[in-house]
Amino acid sequence: MTTPSLLILPGDGIGPEVMAEVRKIIDWMGAKRDLAFDVSEDLVGGAAYDAHGTPLHDDTMAKAQAVDAVLLGAVGGPKYDVLDFSVKPERGLLRLRKEMDLFANLRPAQCFDALSDFSSLKQEVVAGLDIMIIRELTSGVYFGEPRGIHKEGNERVGINTQRYTESEIARVARSAFEMARKRGNKVCSMEKANVMESGILWRDVVQEIHDAEYPDVELSHMYADAGAMQLTRWPKQFDVIVTDNLFGDLLSDLAAMLTGSLGMLPSASLGAPMANGRPKALYEPVHGSAPDIAGQGKANPIACILSFAMALRYSFDLGDEATRVENAVEKVLADGLRTADLMGPDGGASVSTSGMGDAIVAALDASL
Contact stretch for Mg ion (CB under 5 A) within 55-63, 143-151, 195-203, 241-249 = 241-249
Taking the least distance from each CB to ligand IPM, the nearer of 137 and 332 is: 137
Instruction: Please give the distance of CA 43 from its chain centroid, rounded to a whole number.
Output: 19
Confirm or deny that 82 is annotated as ligand binding: yes
Report in angstroms how near the CB of residue 93 gets to ligand IPM at its nearest: 6
Contact stretch for Mg ion (CB under 5 A) within 15-23, 129-137, 155-163, 244-252 = 244-252
User: CB neighbours of 319 closer than 8 A, spacing ≥ 6?
Assistant: 312, 313
Taking the least distance from each CB to Mg ion, the nearer of 17 and 249 is: 249
Catalytic residue, chosen from 117, 253, 335, 358, is 253
Confirm or deny that 249 is annotated as ligand binding: yes
192 catalytic residue (yes or no): yes
Q: What is the phi/psi pair of residue 72, to 5°?
A: -120, 140
User: CB neighbours of 348 closer than 8 A, spacing ≥ 6?
Assistant: 336, 337, 338, 342
Q: Closest residue (Cβ) to ligand IPM?
A: 90
Taking the least distance from each CB to Mg ion, the nearer of 16 and 285 is: 285
Comparing CA positions, the residue from 194, 192, 175 lying closest to residue 247 is: 192
Binding to ligand IPM by CB under 6 A, coded x per residue (else -) over 246-265, reads: ---x----------------
58 catalytic residue (yes or no): no
Q: Rounded to an integer, what distance in angstroms lies between the CA atom of residue 278 and that of residue 267?
A: 17
Q: Rounded to an integer, what distance in angstroms lies between the CA atom of residue 332 and that of residue 365?
A: 12
38 catalytic residue (yes or no): no
Q: What is the phi/psi pair of residue 61, to 5°?
A: -60, -45
Q: Rounded to an integer, what distance in angstroms lies between the CA atom of residue 56 and that of residue 95?
A: 8
Q: Rounded to an integer, what distance in angstroms lies between the CA atom of residue 326 and that of residue 360?
A: 9
Binding to ligand IPM by CB under 6 A, coded x per residue (else -) over 199-238, reads: ----------------------------------------
Among 21, 249, 321, 326, binds Mg ion (CB under 5 A): 249
13 in Cβ contact with 76 (< 8 Å): yes
Which residues in 89-118 contact ligand IPM (CB under 6 A)? 90, 93
Report in angstroms how near the CB of residue 122 gets to Mg ion at its nearest: 25
> Which amino acid does the sequence have at 64?
A
**Residue 218 interacts with, from ligand IPM, Mg ion, none (CB under 5-8 Å by kind):** none
Report in angstroms how near the CB of residue 110 gets to ligand IPM at its nearest: 17
163 in Cβ contact with 194 (< 8 Å): no
| Range list of H helices, the chain | 15-33, 46-52, 58-66, 89-99, 123-126, 166-181, 197-213, 224-233, 245-258, 302-314, 319-334, 353-366
Taking the least distance from each CB to ligand IPM, the nearer of 116 and 162 is: 162
**Residue 99 interacts with, from Mg ion, ligand IPM, none (CB under 5-8 Å by kind):** none
Contact stretch for Mg ion (CB under 5 A) within 58-66, 243-251, 313-321, 323-331 = 243-251
Report in angstroms how near the CB of residue 31 gets to ligand IPM at its nearest: 32
164 catalytic residue (yes or no): no
User: CB neighbours of 122 closer than 8 A, spacing ≥ 6?
Assistant: none
**Residue 93 interacts with, from Mg ion, ligand IPM, none (CB under 5-8 Å by kind):** ligand IPM
Catalytic residue, chosen from 117, 225, 335, 358, is 225
User: CB neighbours of 96 closer than 8 A, spacing ≥ 6?
Assistant: 44, 56, 61, 64, 70, 72, 102, 282
| Number of residues this chain uses to bind ligand IPM (CB under 6 A) | 3
Report in angstroms how near the CB of residue 293 gets to Mg ion at its nearest: 18
| 3-state secondary structure (DSSP) of residue 55 | coil
Annotated binding site: 77-90, 97, 107, 135, 225, 249, 253, 288-300
Which sequence positions are flagged as catalytic? 142, 192, 225, 249, 253
Annotated binding site for NAD(+): 77-90, 288-300
Residues that bind ligand IPM (CB under 6 A): 90, 93, 249
Residues that bind Mg ion (CB under 5 A): 249
